[in-house]
Amino acid sequence: MKKPVIGVLGNLLLIENDIFAGAERSYVNNDYIKAVHIAGGVPVIIPPLLDDEIIEKQISMLNGIIISGGYDVNPLRYGDEPREKLGFIHPLVDDFTIKAIKIAVNFNKPILGICKGAQILNVAYGGSLYQDLSYMPGCYIKHSQNAKAHIATHLIEVDKESKLFEIIGDNTYVNSFHHQVIKDIADEFRVAARAKDGAVEAIEMKDKEFVVAVQWHPEMMAATNETMKKLFKRLIKEASKNL
């Protein structure tokens, strides 16, 4: 039985401490790879490049896309100046990711965004971010947990009219590893879930079959959590329509 190929958009990592110090590596965290595999897909890593023709070729070969987490989004991308609590940014990776997103959406590829993947998906279409959760009015939940990655630490409230509700059901508990969060929602999207302090936890593209993004890290939970595995199963199901 033919399986869909799922491309995980990659990051660039600067090597500092070994014989290759100063070099950059294209990478994704292995939990993304394992989550796609256990859900029934064929995972591949898509390295960051700035050649539009090559990016289009990369995306055209895929049946579905995961926009992975990573560094902070460059605030200049959403018309803001860098603030004191902004973390490390990599503008080249942002440029690649936004190009890949636009091409994938135009090709009607199913997309699952995760953590920064949700943030940059929103920014790609004109939305904005809080550069740190301390800048978000009313934020009181600890969104960067100390517990192990597979452990859920706070509740999300899921919109019952959303695709996310179709996939994972009612309110559930998730893990949390972020210090930025969506501020203004791009017109093309709707909020699918929030934390109890109002932080946006999931968004969906209004006029596409499956462009869904979550702020937490389901790939870190999927091996032991059936609810989180359902997100990847749904991505595989949607991607299978492109075989």
Residues marked active site are found at 115, 217, 219
Rounded Cα distance, 196 and 206, in Å: 23
Tell me the DSSP string of 103-155.
HHHHTT--EEEETHHHHHHHHHTT--EESSGGGSTT--S--B-SS-TTS--EE
Residues making up the chain, counted from first to last = 243
Backbone phi, psi, residue 76, to 5°: -60, -25
Rg (CA), the chain: 17
174: exposed, middle or buried (Cβ count in 10 Å: 0-12, 13-18, 19+): buried
Judge contact between 9 and 100, C-beta under 8 A: yes
For 137, other C-beta atoms within 10 Å of its C-beta total: 7
Helix (H, G, I), strand (E, B) or coil at 160: coil
